[in-house]
Amino acid sequence: MRVRSKLTENMDRGLEAFYFKHIDRIKEAIDGYFPAALSDAFVECISGQEALFEQDLDALHDSAFVPTREYLDRGGKVLRPILAAMTLSAYGKDPADYTPFLACIEVMEDSSIMMDDYIDNSLLRRGGPCAHIKHGFPMANISACVAFSLAHYLFYNNEMKLPADVSRRLLNAFAWERIQMAFGQIEELYWTESNVNTVSVDEYLQESIARCAFLSFRGPLRYAAIIAGAPEEDVALLEDIGEYLLIGYHIKGDDLDMDPDSDSWGKVAGEDITTGRRTLLINYVLQQADDEDRRLLEERLNSRTRDEDEKKQVYALVLKYQAFRFTRELTQKYSGLTHECIDKLHISQEHRMLFHEFSDFCSTGRLL
């Protein structure tokens, strides 16, 4: 587990205070999703039915729970549940009354990270081996899918005793988001596997929103707003905020893969080059480069090179065509749009300030 001060480095004081007020309770709730051993009663609860025959509970636990539990134990910032807690609080709800919901947000996020890792065949995540490296691709896939789906039992069993219409609305939103995420994932996989070099900035941003907005920020904001009974105009604004936040945060993640800003960065630098991913940086350079540089960049991406010198050639092209300046300007643009939407929310000034601080942290904070 990281030192607590590292978790909130670059946070403003108000956000940091809110973070530490709620983080321990959220992490306790996350632990409740993954008991040390499974029981028939627990499996029946999450599956929604009794088993007809005897189940191998050890096999279920070791294959479905252990890989995801390892990711959670490595200690991410748990930003998405904090954002959901902020939203609940902003609309008059006590986050302590909804800790299972807050926990499920983080469980889904970490399971999706595991999916990304085995799709990209990544080596490291948060300083440790990726699940498919340690447990193999089949186990990583099963664990990620089970953990992702596990959150839904809160709503189809209505574990939090929400009004029936609220529970149905949440399930409908989950289903819609799953479709969007699948479309985005398919686009990215196609671009990578087919070595597509003509992806526009707008196409990349739309793919990123479809694939990532649900689990990054739009989902936590939307679901918390629905649970809290926020005005419909605020729900729509929060969805916009979630997408704008995602753009800046996602772009920063792409930038950091190429140019890590911390000795504690938990992934292999330049991994996007090795996987052939067409990130925003890469697509921008492909559009701006002259013929000779474009051919070199395409060769390096298509070869999936792990050679450090060849990766540095790609980095040199990113610098030559000032791609980092382009991504910084784009991040600033969407940060501005985020702040504009926050100011329109029907919430207290105290909570509005928390949202502003969260937005600033996502734009400037390190993604450790």
Each residue's pLDDT tens digit, 348-360: 999 999 999 999 9
Mean predicted confidence (pLDDT) in 233-252: 92
**Vertex 340 angle, CA 246 and 367, to 5°:** 30
pTM: 0.87
- Short-list 348, 359, 136, CA closest to 248: 359
* Closest by Cα among 85, 103, 102 to 94: 85
Question: Which pLDDT value is given to residue 264?
Answer: 46
260 has pLDDT over 70: no
Average confidence (pLDDT) over 240-267:
74
Domains of the chain: 14-160 (1.10.600.10), 162-368 (1.10.600.10)
Range scoring the smallest mean pLDDT among 16-20, 84-88, 152-156: 152-156
Beta carbons within 8 Å of 332's beta carbon, 6+ residues apart: 363
**Which amino acid is located at 337 in the chain?**
L
Average pLDDT over every residue of 193-198: 92
Question: Mean pLDDT over residues 23-41, rounded?
Answer: 84
Mean pLDDT of 57-78: 85
Please list the residues that pair with 129 across neighbouring strands.
124
What per-residue confidence (pLDDT) applies to 366? Answer: 45
Residue 2 pLDDT class (50, 70, 90 cuts): very low
Model confidence pLDDT, tens digit, residues 273-329: 888 888 898 999 999 999 999 999 999 999 999 888 898 899 899 999 999 999 989
Mean pLDDT in residue range 137-147: 87
Confidence of residue 227 (pLDDT cuts 50, 70, 90): very high
d(CA 132, CA 141): 8
| pLDDT value at residue 356 | 97
Please determine, for residue 30, whether its predicted confidence score (pLDDT) is greater than 80: yes
- Average of per-residue pLDDT values in the chain: 87
Q: What is the rounded distance in angstroms from the CA atom of residue 351 to the CA atom of residue 19? A: 13
Per cent of the chain over pLDDT 90 is 44
- The 10s digit of each residue's pLDDT in 310-326 is 988 998 999 999 999 99
Residue 262 reports pLDDT greater than 50 = no
| Interatomic CA distance for residues 250 and 13, integer angstroms | 24
Which residues contact residue 94 at a Cβ distance below 8 angstroms, ignoring those fewer than 6 apart?
Answer: 88
Helix axes 232-258, 323-342, angle to 10 degrees: 160
Find the helix or strand (DSSP H, E) in which 124 lies.
strand 124-125
Residue 244: pLDDT band (50, 70, 90) is: very high
Q: Look at the block and give the residue holding tokens 């070199």.
A: 296
Residue with tokens 């007809």: 52
> In the predicted model, what is the mean pLDDT of residues 201-229?
92
Identify any residues that bridge with 125 across adjacent strands, giving them in sequence order: 128
